[in-house]
Amino acid sequence: MRTKNDWITILENCNKVVQKKIPPLLQKVAEPPVDYGIGAGGDLIKKVDLEAETAIVNTLKKAKVSCTIISEETGTIKIGKTPEENYVILDPIDGSTNFTRGIPFYATSIAVSKNQTLDGVHTALVSDLIHNITYTAIKKQGAYKNNEKITPSKIKSFEKATIGVDLNTDQPKTLKSLAKLLIKIPHLRHFGANALELCYVADGTIDAFIDIRGKLRTTDLAAAFLILKESNATIMTLKGDPLTEKMAPTEKIAFVAAGNSQIFSQIVKELSN
Ligand SMILES: [Mg+2]
């Protein structure tokens, strides 16, 4: 049976392979003329997603692990003799639109869990593919950015806060409840890769991140979830409950992540008003 420390080495090897594979594909993105329509972008991202996924699956096979891989592109892949021993949750490219438009903010996200719940995640890696920054976490051993321990923001009041909010294809109902909060946020941000933005909450780059659309998949969040928890940041539902959704591409999630409980409470209070 693999230990959590074995797993982090395996994830770091996966990361190395992806970092080698992605740059040549980036040049293709820059080649003119590029049709940025849904078709072209969709095809390109599919190609990159598949290449990154294949590279990761092959690295896992080489490491001779037994696991069930849950990925966006291919769905479920079982490898080894006892695939139910570990679940590897994979998002080869988080921030696909950024990737196809040449916006330098996207990441690879890999989480390992002992079961199909978020709480079962014990090892995680989110790799910023542009800036050579890798976030990692092992359950009960803290969260790290390029091997340096990270802690979230200590800013406790709204007046100074920088807060990320995902409003993409939001419904009028949630937009309405967010409106009062949005006008109070002095520095509002959304960079377009939610796993990476959650890591920004974990290391205090931003103070909170809100996504209450109910559209993000649990599989997109799995790795960042552990990184956040291990950094001591807060991530919960709007009601202040823990996230207990099953990890499957069909499961969607709504949440507030914050650097500390004071910021979390203020956001929830504003949203419930
Ligand atoms: Mg993706």
Note whether 233 and 256 are within 8 A (CB).
Answer: no
**Residue 197 pLDDT class (50, 70, 90 cuts):** very high
What is the whole-number distance in angstroms between the Cα of residue 160 and the centre of ligand 1?
Answer: 32
What is the whole-number distance in angstroms between the Cα of residue 55 and the centre of ligand 1?
Answer: 15
Q: Is the pLDDT of residue 41 over 60?
A: no
What is the whole-number distance in angstroms between the Cα of residue 272 and the centre of ligand 1?
Answer: 31
Who has greater pLDDT, 83 or 30?
83
Who has greater pLDDT, 99 or 114?
114
What is the whole-number distance in angstroms between the Cα of residue 223 and the centre of ligand 1?
Answer: 13
What is the whole-number distance in angstroms between the Cα of residue 112 and the centre of ligand 1?
Answer: 17
Alpha helices in the chain (DSSP H): 4-30, 38-62, 96-101, 172-182, 194-202, 218-231, 261-272
In this prediction, residue 45 carries a pLDDT of 72
Angle between helices 261-272 and 172-182 (to 10 degrees): 120
Neighbours of 237 (CB within 10 A): 16
In this prediction, residue 115 carries a pLDDT of 94
In this prediction, residue 30 carries a pLDDT of 52
Average pLDDT over residues 4-23: 91
The token duo for 48 is: 């990159």
What is the whole-number distance in angstroms between the Cα of residue 95 and the centre of ligand 1?
Answer: 7
Q: Is the pLDDT of residue 154 over 80?
A: yes
**pTM, two decimal places:** 0.93
In this prediction, residue 29 carries a pLDDT of 56
**Residue 28 pLDDT class (50, 70, 90 cuts):** low
**Residue 201 pLDDT class (50, 70, 90 cuts):** very high
CA geometry: angle at 197 spanning 85 and 122, to 5°? Answer: 20
Whole-Å CA distances, 170 to 138, 177, 220, 222: 33, 11, 18, 22
**Residue 177 pLDDT class (50, 70, 90 cuts):** confident
In this prediction, residue 4 carries a pLDDT of 76
What is the whole-number distance in angstroms between the Cα of residue 218 and the centre of ligand 1?
Answer: 12
What is the whole-number distance in angstroms between the Cα of residue 215 and the centre of ligand 1?
Answer: 13
Q: Is the pLDDT of residue 254 over 60?
A: yes
Who has greater pLDDT, 169 or 143?
143
Q: Is the pLDDT of residue 89 over 60?
A: yes
Average pLDDT over residues 22-36: 59
Looking at every residue in the chain, the average pLDDT score rounds to 90
Q: What is the DSSP string of 10-64?
A: HHHHHHHHHHHHHHHHHHHHHSSS---SHHHHHHHHHHHHHHHHHHHHHHHHHTT
Average pLDDT over residues 1-25: 87
What is the whole-number distance in angstroms between the Cα of residue 140 and the centre of ligand 1?
Answer: 27
Cα 80 to Cα 147: distance, rounded to the nearest angstrom: 30
Q: Is the pLDDT of residue 166 over 90?
A: yes
What is the whole-number distance in angstroms between the Cα of residue 27 and the centre of ligand 1?
Answer: 19
Cα 5 to Cα 67: distance, rounded to the nearest angstrom: 16
Residue pLDDT, tens place only, 42-58:
567 778 888 899 999 99
What is the whole-number distance in angstroms between the Cα of residue 247 and the centre of ligand 1?
Answer: 15
Share above pLDDT 90 across residues of the chain, in percent, rounded to a whole number: 67
Q: Is the pLDDT of residue 145 over 90?
A: yes
